[in-house]
Structure 1
Amino acid sequence: MRWPRRSHLFPLVLLVLVSGCRRPPKGSGEDAGTPPRGPEVMLTVKGSDTLVILAQRWAEHFMKAHPGARIQVTGGGSGTGIAALINGTTDIAMASRPLEDAERRQVRQKHPQGPVELAVALDGISFYVHESNPVSGLTLAQLKAIYLGDTTRWKDVGGEDKPIVVYSRESSSGTYAYVKERVLGGQDFTERAQTLPGTAAVVNAVSLERHGIGFGGAAYLRGVKALKVGRDAQRAVFLSAETLRDGTYPLARELYFDLVRPPSGLAREFIDHALSPEGQRTVIDAGFFPVK
């Protein structure tokens, strides 16, 4: 009896056996006894420059605990983020002001369940000057006169006989909108105000300009001097957790995550993290104030 020829079969069988016995590379998930990483799930968060620092920290902490999640955080201003939310190009809009009535209507036209507006942190608007400026505090009326252009020299508010160099945020900024409403009574900023893209840019400009004044969220104050602010000189106080809680600081505000519908999936998990005790400790570490 003749056996079938195996000269072509044996190498093939050997190859299959060797291939099936190969161990995964050292250090791989399979070698470590953990399942392979699944496909990434993407969440986009866009808007308020004030919130960018905080949202980026939340995202970093969340992604460490959830390797399959990818959260992209970008700024551009509250108005930019809300427009992206309405247009469907972001999942969450960050805003340092409440939604306007027109924005709410635009969301509802496309998404009857929305909008959903969630306060995720507390903040206060700080006004600040160069560290060498002798002025330590201003009233709301004095700030209004400066930013409307009615007061143009520091000597008129207790400082040197020098011109006041005014810095502001761009019109898409929620901080800009807040100051326009709460400090200027809805009037327009002076034409002398130099508009800069982001609170960090305003802080940097004031740190370099001895006669400058600017405003922004508390978390950005580095290398400048924060001013006491009050409805009158006797009630002027520095921004702090205590003065926000007791209402003595007059420029407190909430910071928001806005969505077109109640959050679910990755958005819900990320927001739950932001509002958790751990997430609210991140709020404090970033220089803001916890919402609860």
Structure 2
Amino acid sequence: MKSISRKVKFFVSLCFLLYIASCSMQLGPKKTIIRIKGSDTLLPLAKHWATAYMQENADVSIYVQGGGTATGAAALATGSADICTASRPLRSAEVQNIAQIHGSVGFSFLVAKEAIAIFLNKSNPVESFSLTEVKNIFTGNVLNWQELAWQDTSIKLYGRSPNSGTHHYLRQHVLQGQPYTSDVQVLAGTSAIVRAVQKDKFSIGYGGFAYGEGVKMARINNIAITPKNIRDASYPISRYLYLYTIDKPRGRVKKFIDWTMSQAGQRIALESGYLPVIELE
């Protein structure tokens, strides 16, 4: 009887082990996770890249979040992101923070080119601003559309938070370091700014060129914001977009970043409303 009992226990144990092995095979190999966080300007493109890459690489899961370049830089420093997306070069304080924690100043990759658009409601008759006019509007020195050859109505301003790379870039390169007027209503993301401008004919906002559907994008210095003018930088507020990592990328992170700069990745950039950084075949 004891011999039979041992055989039964052995058989049950064997069945259990086979069941566990079968479950493991059904679950498949463990997936590599890549966490991306940062620029809202790059958010649509990062999501398109992630979707396309995961379709080709079933063993990789990519999680993408926005929140602004500063948010991405902080997440990179704390280790809660593997890649920071950025619409500007990281600030010296952000690089110093990364260096203090990780002993590395990080690695940057140019992955696309785009431009900051000045958004207007489609019923607004104003077509063009000089860079000086944009500066004066967002620093509070021009308050009324009458000063811009339209009607006697106050200008309603929408903008991004200080965490935003676009906020920082516009302040440094157009406002020449001057602070934004307190009249700017800060919204959570560029999509929110576009929606607000769509609803208010007397409003003005700013954001990435890729978000410009449904609003008028003003000419700057009488130069239209077009792919050609962004590519050759004749449009005055053109800029590059970046990916940042702590260390020199390895493994799946390296393969993903390399892919974003490949023909396939850059074609997705073009199809998403951005400009590629390589010559497409």
TM-score, reference length from structure 1:
0.86
2:31 matched to 1:45? no
The match for 2:254 among 265, 268, 272 is: 268
1:65–1:203 Cα change, 3 Å: same
- Structure-2 separation of matches of 1:201 and 1:15: 60
1:29-178, aligned counterparts within 5 Å?
A: 37-178=28-169
AA paired with 1:195? V
| Shift in CA distance, 112/136, structure 1 to aligned 2, threshold 3 Å | same
Residue 259 (structure 1) aligned with residue 257 (structure 2): no
What code does the residue aligned with 1:265 have? G
Change (3 A) 1:14 1:153: closer
Contact 1:39 1:68 in 2 (8 A): yes
Point out where structure 1 has 5 or more consecutive residues left out of the alignment: 231-235
Once the 2 structures are TM-superposed, how far is the Cα of residue 217 of structure 1 from its aligned partner?
Answer: 0.3
Please say if residues 96 and 105 of structure 2, whose CA atoms lie closer than 8 Å, have aligned partners that are also in contact.
no
CA apart distance, 1:119 = 1.1
Alpha-carbon offset, residue 10 of structure 1: 11
Aligned-CA RMSD value: 2.7
Give the secondary-structure state (helix, strand or coil) at the position aligned to 1:50: coil
Residue pair 1:114, 1:262 contacting (<8 A) in 2 also: no
Q: 2:265 aligns with which of 256, 279, 286?
A: 279
Residue type of the partner of 1:142? E
In structure 2, which of residues 206, 212, 220 is the aligned counterpart of residue 221 of structure 1?
Answer: 212
C-alpha displacement of 1:246? 2.4
Among candidates 229, 244, 267, match of residue 230 of structure 2: 244
Distance in 2 separating the partners of 1:165 and 1:99: 30
Whole-angstrom CA distance in 2 between matches of 1:271 and 1:130: 37
Length, aligned pairs only: 277
Change (3 A) 1:95 1:13: closer
Q: Which amino acid aligns with 1:86?
A: A
Q: Kindly indicate whether residue 171 of structure 2 is the aligned counterpart of residue 185 of structure 1.
A: no
Cα deviation for residue 155 of structure 1 reads 1.7
Letter aligned with residue 267 of structure 2? R
> Aligned letter for 1:248?
S
Over residues 203-262 of structure 1, what are the superposed CA-to-partner deviations in whole Å (9 max), with x where a residue is unaligned? 0000000100000001111211010002xxxxx211122112322111011111111111
Q: Secondary structure at the match of 2:256?
A: helix
Q: Matched residues in 1 for 2:12 and 2:80: separation?
A: 50
Counterpart residue identity of residue 96, structure 2 = R
Contact 1:78 1:95 in 2 (8 A): yes
Note closer, same or farther for the CA distance 1:225–1:104 as it changes in structure 2 (3 Å cut).
same
Choose 1 or 2 for highest CA Rg: 1
Q: Partner residue of 1:233? A: none
Q: Which amino acid aligns with 2:213?
A: R
Distance 2:194 2:149 in 1: 22
Aligned match of 2:187: 196
Q: Deviations over 1:130-177 (max 9, x none)?
A: 000000010000111111111111121122222111111011000000
C-alpha distance in structure 1 between counterparts of 2:212 and 2:84, whole Å: 24
- In structure 1, distance between residues paired with 2:244 and 2:8: 63
Task: State the identity as a percent.
Answer: 35
- 1:113/1:262 contact within 8 Å kept: no
